[in-house]
Amino acid sequence: MNKFGKVLAILFVLALVCAPVVVLGQEAAPSADAAATAPVATSTVDLTPLYGIGAGLVLIGAALGIARIGATSVEGMARQPEVAGKIQTAMIISAALIEGVTFFALIVCMLK
């Protein structure tokens, strides 16, 4: 896949991740009665789409990290089959640590 294809795929994944967050994060419009009696609110910036972008970046980073671990460990096992068990154990532990950090980062992104 060329560089343009990779960028296009990343943008597509970001759009898929951000869309539900933007839709679910919107509040209902106030009724006419509530607008008449409510005090004037100051302008605030809605950062909800940024949380979706952060979650997308977390997922992309984790996917790239685990893919790289898998590719290099399989390459190492092919070069030195006698240490394949040790390499596989290290690969599984590394992938589990990455998944744990990814899960924590997704929770942080979604709690905001």
Convert the pLDDT of each residue in 73-95 to its tens digit.
999 999 999 999 999 999 999 99
The domain ranges of the chain are 48-112
CA distances from 97 to 6, 59, 87, 93, 106 (A): 25, 14, 15, 6, 14
pTM, to two decimals: 0.57
Mean pLDDT across the stretch 86-107?
93
pLDDT band at 107 (very low <50, low <70, confident <90, very high): confident
Superfamily of domain 48-112: F1F0 ATP synthase subunit C (1.20.20.10)
Convert the pLDDT of each residue in 28-49 to its tens digit.
555 555 555 555 555 576 767 7
Q: Tokens 């532990």 map to which residue?
A: 93
